[in-house]
């Protein structure tokens, strides 16, 4: 009897690296409609291993392993051209929690990275977690 290979795992013979996740995030970002990409211009997208304890505590999360992504910045709904420049808006994807969710759920890794990225972009546009959950439920 042939052994079935899990499709998401088939591409990788080792845990995907930071660079692999960056590549997926870039591909996912490139697939977003140009009109939306233009509105996200200037937002840095970075990948880190895992959030630190202080970040998790700041977000009200018990464990950094529960945080797959984070938007830091001022949502577009609260920006003004009169605001003094501050640190650039940043979307951080956390590799290890994403991989943990990938292994636990069996979801396609690219789709998971894309969903985390889109979730954080939604925060850039001023959507709350509740708004995003409601929109995801309408799919």
**Residue 122's pLDDT is what?**
87
Q: Give pLDDT, residue 136.
A: 65
pLDDT tens digits for 76-109?
777 766 666 677 889 999 999 999 999 999 999 9
For position 31, what pLDDT does the model report? 87
Summarised one tens digit per residue, pLDDT across range 17-34 is 999 999 999 999 998 888
Q: Which two tokens stand for residue 60?
A: 């009200």
Could you write out the three-class secondary structure of the chain? CCCCCCHHHHCCCCCCCHHHHHHHHHHHHHCCCHHHHHHHCCCEEEEECCCCHHHHHHCCCCCHHHCCEEEECCCHHHCCCCCCCCCCCEEEEEHHHHHHHHHHHCCCHHHHHHHHHHHHHHHHCCCCHHHHHHHHHCC
* Gap between the Cα atoms of 105 and 110, Å rounded: 13
CA dihedral (137, 116, 52, 65) in degrees, to 10, reads 60
Give domain limits for the chain: 15-76+86-137
pTM of the model: 0.81
Say which CATH class 15-76+86-137 falls into.
alpha beta
- In the block, tokens 């959507």 appear at 127
The rounded distance, in Å, linking the Cα atoms of 75 and 77 is 5
125: number of Cβ within 10 Å? 14
């Amino acid at each position: 009897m042939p052994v079935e290979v899990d499709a998401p795992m088939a591409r990788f013979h080792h845990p995907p690296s930071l660079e692999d996740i960056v590549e997926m995030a870039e591909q996912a970002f490139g697939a977003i409609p140009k009109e939306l990409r233009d509105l996200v211009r200037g937002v840095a997208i970075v990948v880190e291993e895992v959030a630190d304890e202080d970040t998790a505590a700041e977000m009200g999360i018990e464990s950094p392993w529960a945080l797959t992504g984070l938007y830091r910045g001022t949502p577009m709904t609260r920006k003004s051209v009169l605001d003094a420049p501050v640190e650039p808006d940043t979307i951080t994807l956390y590799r290890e929690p994403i991989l943990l969710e990938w292994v636990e759920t069996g979801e396609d890794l690219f789709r998971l990275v894309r969903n985390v990225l889109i979730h954080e972009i939604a925060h850039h546009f001023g959507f709350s977690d509740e708004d995003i959950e409601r929109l995801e439920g309408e799919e």
